[in-house]
């Protein structure tokens, strides 16, 4: 706890339905950002409402914040969280060479999905966003079977299965929270540009052919870059495609 970031609250729950749901419940009474860690999560969620498997020993936490910013800028915090996760895993393992970042919000270890991020916001019509919840799940102890994930999805892995390293969720939070605070300060001070540059230096499959799938269609092309607003850019036979939201398949 000696390295815990100043100004950030912390609460550890034995069990909760969802840390993002708990964030929504406590947000009105908060005066600053707060981390919520659940040692057991009974109704965890991933992107597009998918269930998030959360066995005992894995990491399930949410950072709840109340930023007074526009929605497009708030959404860029998924990149801030990705970089913080990368650093936390590198600190836990001593091996940053095994890690990469998959757009828009996954951390890969040995090419498999180790962690995911779910950013949600709440607000009233005409009054902007009241708070955001940055939910983070990390397979510290175990990973789901391939049968539990979408066909073609990245293979799930755990920190233990790939490295033999065991780390308690509370100890992992002690690595993650200071890393996030550092990148958050950089983001607030210098904007998205340095965050984007560092994220691209750690990006998985940059310069390679990937497929971006939305609810309506899919686009296959060379992963060219992430632009100044966080969109992924693919070079395709039809030209340059800028995609704001999609699932990425390798």
Domains of the chain: 9-201 (3.30.930.10), 209-249 (2.30.30)
Q: Please tell me the pTM assigned to this model.
A: 0.93
Per-residue pLDDT in tens (0 to 9) along the chain, 250 residues: 679 999 999 999 999 999 999 999 999 999 999 999 999 988 776 555 555 567 889 999 999 998 888 889 999 999 999 999 999 999 999 999 999 999 999 999 999 999 999 999 876 444 568 899 999 999 999 998 876 677 778 999 999 999 999 999 999 999 999 999 999 999 999 999 999 999 999 999 999 999 999 988 999 999 999 999 999 999 999 999 999 999 999 9
Is 135:78 a contact under the CB 8 Å cutoff? no
- Reading phi first (left if > 0) and then psi (alpha if -120 to 50, else beta), residue 37 is in beta
Query: What confidence score (pLDDT) does residue 182 get?
Result: 98
């Amino acid at each position: 706890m000696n390295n815990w970031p100043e100004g950030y609250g912390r609460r550890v729950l034995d069990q909760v339905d969802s840390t993002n749901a708990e964030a929504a419940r406590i947000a009105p009474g908060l005066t600053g950002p707060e981390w919520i860690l659940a040692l057991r999560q009974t109704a965890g969620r991933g992107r597009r409402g998918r269930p998030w498997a959360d066995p005992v020993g894995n990491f399930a936490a949410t950072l709840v914040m109340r930023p007074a910013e526009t929605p497009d800028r708030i959404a860029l915090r998924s990149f801030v969280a990705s970089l913080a996760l990368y650093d936390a895993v590198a600190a836990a393992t001593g091996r940053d060479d095994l890690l990469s970042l998959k757009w828009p919000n996954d951390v890969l270890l040995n090419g498999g999905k180790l962690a995911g991020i779910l950013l949600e916001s709440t607000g009233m019509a005409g009054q902007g966003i009241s708070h955001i919840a940055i939910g983070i799940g990390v397979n510290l102890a175990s990973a789901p079977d391939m049968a539990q994930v979408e066909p073609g999805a990245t293979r799930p892995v755990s920190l233990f299965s790939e490295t033999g390293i065991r780390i308690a969720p509370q100890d992992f939070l002690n690595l993650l929270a200071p890393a996030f605070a550092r990148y958050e300060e950089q983001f607030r001070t210098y904007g998205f540009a340095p965050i984007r540059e560092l994220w691209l230096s750690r990006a998985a499959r940059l310069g390679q052919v990937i497929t971006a799938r939305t609810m309506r269609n899919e686009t296959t092309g060379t992963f060219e870059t992430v632009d100044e607003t966080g969109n992924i850019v693919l070079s395709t036979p039809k030209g340059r495609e800028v995609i704001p939201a999609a699932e990425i398949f390798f």
